[in-house]
Amino acid sequence: MGQPGAGHTAGVTILPADNHLGDGRIDNFIVDSSVHLTTGILVLVTMTAATLLVGRHAVRGEALNRSSLLVMVVAQIVLIAQILLGIKLLDQGQGIVQLYIHYVGGLIPMGAFLLGGWVARGDSPRSSRILFGLLVIGYVSALMAFFIGRSFANA
């Protein structure tokens, strides 16, 4: 998992700079793929919570409350972290053999959140229903991306 003399902390290995490209910057941070897996599980947990909460508001015909909005923000932050970790892993040469559907499927939930911010903020009953539909699409896509990614990681 790292090289002798390299620092190691919670899934992130910091390699000493040995070229002119990194010199202590992001190129010298090696992220273990298990961090991506753990964050992927967090994406599924937070997306499940957000989808269920927004669905509850949609069924009841009400606008979102603060706690539902907070859960959506947390889901978005975890999703952003997951996307950035995936990009870093690709930069490290990992995940090259995975199907592109894994990458596309991983970005669709962010698109659902973005579209929701443009057309359905959850501030009215109709808006909550539209947002719920978008979150269902994003959630199914996140599930698909997670399980496709796991199948290639285990292959």
For residue range 87-132, what is the model confidence (pLDDT) as tens digits? 888 877 777 767 678 888 889 999 999 999 899 888 999 999 999 9
pTM (predicted TM-score): 0.79
Of 95 and 147, which is predicted with more confidence? 147
Q: What is the average per-residue pLDDT within 3-18?
A: 49
Handedness of CA 62, 66, 72, 76 (dihedral sign): positive
| Nearest one of 25, 24, 26, 29 to 8, comparing CA atoms | 29
Side-chain-side CA neighbours of 83 within 13 Å: the count stands at: 15
The pLDDT, as a whole number, for residue 12 is 56
> Which one-letter amino acid corresponds to residue 109?
P
Tokens of 22: 């990194």
Residue 2: φ, ψ to 5°: 165, 180
Q: What is the structure's pLDDT at 70?
A: 97
16-27 average pLDDT score? 55
Average model confidence (pLDDT) for the chain?
83
Rg, Å, the chain Cα set = 18
Q: How many residues does the chain have?
A: 155
In which order are the strands placed within the sheet that holds 7-9? Answer: 7-9, 12-14, 29-31
